[in-house]
């Protein structure tokens, strides 16, 4: 009979080993399961974060980069027009950061900006470089005929689609030698015209008693030549409306001595002053006018006093000056690109820059709105003619109003609203934007031309 006493422990040891082995396997299985779960979770998170094209899933195909050239003044006599440039371009770049969908493809947008230095010659040189070296698909430019005209001429010559703004359409169109029956092929512009400005200024003047003698300051530049034109400028309209014009003639906008003009205005007993000057030129004139005792009842100056900083630089003599208002927080329009209305865009500008809103904000924003809208509708982005054709049939609601090149008033030109404004001291008119109150506010005092834009103040004479 066998003694099993020594066998039993061995069997138990084997059973324990088997159990231990099973536990090891279970532990390994659990570790494997946890590792799998961790890896699966990571993979899921990676899948959610990864671009679709890396995962082989359908997505919007990528197209080539679209180049937009932009020319505007950041420095020089017209630098005030470019004060908002950083703010606007930064915002536009954010809006198109993921690309622009054109014909089912997402195209990266590259904006190449250049400072014209307030020089007509420099603007043309920069446009030539953007066309010939950078090979831009679309050109944009703004801020007076000194900028938009040479840029447009380069584009017309080289067959490059171009959109411009911020210059009276006559100085843009006729200043470039445009013929009404023919127009231009590649260059398009949106802004108001001299007929609108004359109407706005004379409507404001009619609100105060004067002797109707008008002294004019029209320099020898694109705007000055257009404003003084006997056919489509101020002279004929003023005569029709019973005003007597005192015009000392053209002069360089860099002039530093206005004694001759002031003497002529005083001798003729001028009670209404008008003109179109860069801010530094008007500041010089207005200082000398005060020193030499020229005190008109009304001063309606285009271009020079559009900007808060330019008016503040005049000190107390900046109050109650009048000018045109192309755009303000009170305009009832909103952007078709960002969805912001005029007040919201102004508030965003003041929040970010801590500066007072300025009129070019709206038009620079609208310039890119209209350009991007045309690109989105282009049938073939590799064809300049296709981009031009998309521009030509624009029908777009921008933050400065409706834009359409429908032949009114002339081919290549789309008109925008214009009303009359006055710089009112902040203690008289409290107009809070972004929680801020400034020394002077530009308020609407005449809306006869566009009744859908509300008037805010009754015009007052100069002190």
Residues 240-257, buried b or exposed e (16+ Cβ, 10 A)? eeebebbbbeebebebee
pLDDT (tens digit, 9 = 90+) per residue, 179-217? Answer: 999 999 999 999 999 999 999 999 999 999 999 999 999
Q: Looking at the predicted structure, is the pLDDT value of residue 53 above 80?
A: no
Angle at 416 between CA 411 and CA 420, to 5 degrees: 135
Lowest mean pLDDT across 41-50, 220-229, 260-269, 272-281: 41-50
pLDDT at 430: 62
Question: Can you tell me whether residue 302 is helix, strand or coil?
Answer: strand
Domains of the chain: residue spans and CATH: 66-192+331-414 (3.40.50.2300), 196-325+419-446 (3.40.50.2300)
Q: Tell me, what's the pLDDT at 160? A: 98
Q: Output the CA torsion sign for 399, 360, 330, 433.
A: positive
Residue 26 has pLDDT above 60, yes or no: no
pTM for the whole structure: 0.84
Q: What is the DSSP letter of 223?
A: H
The predicted structure's pLDDT at residue 431: 59
Whether residue 409 is preceded by a cis peptide bond, meaning omega within 30 degrees of 0, is yes
Can the peptide bond before residue 461 be classed as cis, meaning omega within 30 degrees of 0? Answer: no
Confirm if 425 and 411 have CB atoms less than 8 A apart: no
H/E run at residue 420: strand 419-425
- The answer to whether residue 31 scores a pLDDT higher than 60 is no
Q: Does the structure show a pLDDT above 90 at 337? A: yes
Give pLDDT, residue 18. Answer: 41
């Amino acid at each position: 009979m066998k003694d099993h006493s020594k066998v039993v422990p061995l069997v138990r040891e084997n059973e324990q080993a088997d159990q231990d082995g099973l536990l090891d396997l279970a532990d390994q299985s659990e570790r494997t399961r946890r590792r799998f779960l961790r890896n699966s979770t990571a993979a899921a998170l990676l899948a959610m974060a990864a671009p679709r094209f890396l995962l082989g899933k359908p997505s919007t195909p990528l197209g080539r980069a679209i180049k937009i050239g932009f020319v505007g003044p950041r420095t020089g006599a017209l630098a005030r027009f470019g004060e908002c440039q950083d703010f606007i371009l930064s915002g536009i770049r954010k809006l198109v950061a993921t690309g622009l969908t054109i014909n089912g493809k997402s195209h990266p947008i590259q904006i190449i900006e250049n400072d014209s230095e307030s020089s007509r010659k420099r603007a043309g040189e920069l446009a030539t470089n953007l066309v010939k070296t950078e090979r831009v698909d679309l050109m944009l430019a703004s801020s007076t005929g000194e900028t938009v005209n040479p840029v447009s001429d380069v584009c017309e010559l080289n067959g490059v689609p171009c959109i411009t703004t911020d210059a009276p359409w006559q100085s843009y169109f006729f200043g470039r030698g445009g013929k009404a029956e023919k127009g231009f092929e590649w260059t398009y512009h949106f802004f108001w015209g001299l007929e609108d400005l004359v109407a706005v200024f004379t409507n404001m003047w009619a609100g105060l008693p004067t002797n109707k003698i008008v002294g004019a300051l029209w320099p020898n530049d694109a705007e000055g030549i257009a404003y003084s034109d006997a056919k489509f400028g101020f002279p004929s309209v003023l005569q029709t409306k019973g005003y007597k014009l005192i015009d000392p003639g053209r002069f360089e906008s860099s002039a530093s001595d206005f004694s001759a003009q002031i003497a002529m205005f005083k001798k003729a007993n001028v009670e209404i002053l008008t003109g179109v000057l860069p801010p530094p030129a008007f500041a010089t004139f207005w200082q000398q006018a005060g020193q030499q005792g020229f005190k008109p009842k009304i001063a309606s100056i285009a271009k020079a006093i559009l900007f808060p900083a330019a008016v503040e630089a005049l000190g107390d003599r900046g109050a109650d000056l009048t000018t045109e208002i192309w755009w303000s927080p009170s305009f009832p329009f909103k952007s078709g690109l960002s969805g912001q209305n005029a007040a919201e865009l102004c508030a965003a500008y003041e929040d970010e820059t801590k500066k007072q809103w300025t009129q070019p904000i709206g038009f620079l924003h609208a310039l890119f709105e209209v350009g991007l809208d045309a690109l989105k509708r282009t049938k073939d982005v590799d064809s300049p003619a296709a981009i031009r054709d998309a521009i030509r049939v624009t029908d777009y609601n921008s933050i400065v109003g409706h834009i359409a090149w429908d032949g009114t008033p002339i081919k290549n030109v789309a008109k925008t609203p214009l009303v009359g404004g006055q710089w009112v001291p902040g203690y008289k008119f409290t107009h809070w934007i972004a929680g801020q109150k400034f020394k002077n506010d530009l308020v609407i005092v005449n809306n006869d031309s566009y009744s859908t834009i509300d008037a805010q103040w009754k015009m007052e004479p100069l002190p």
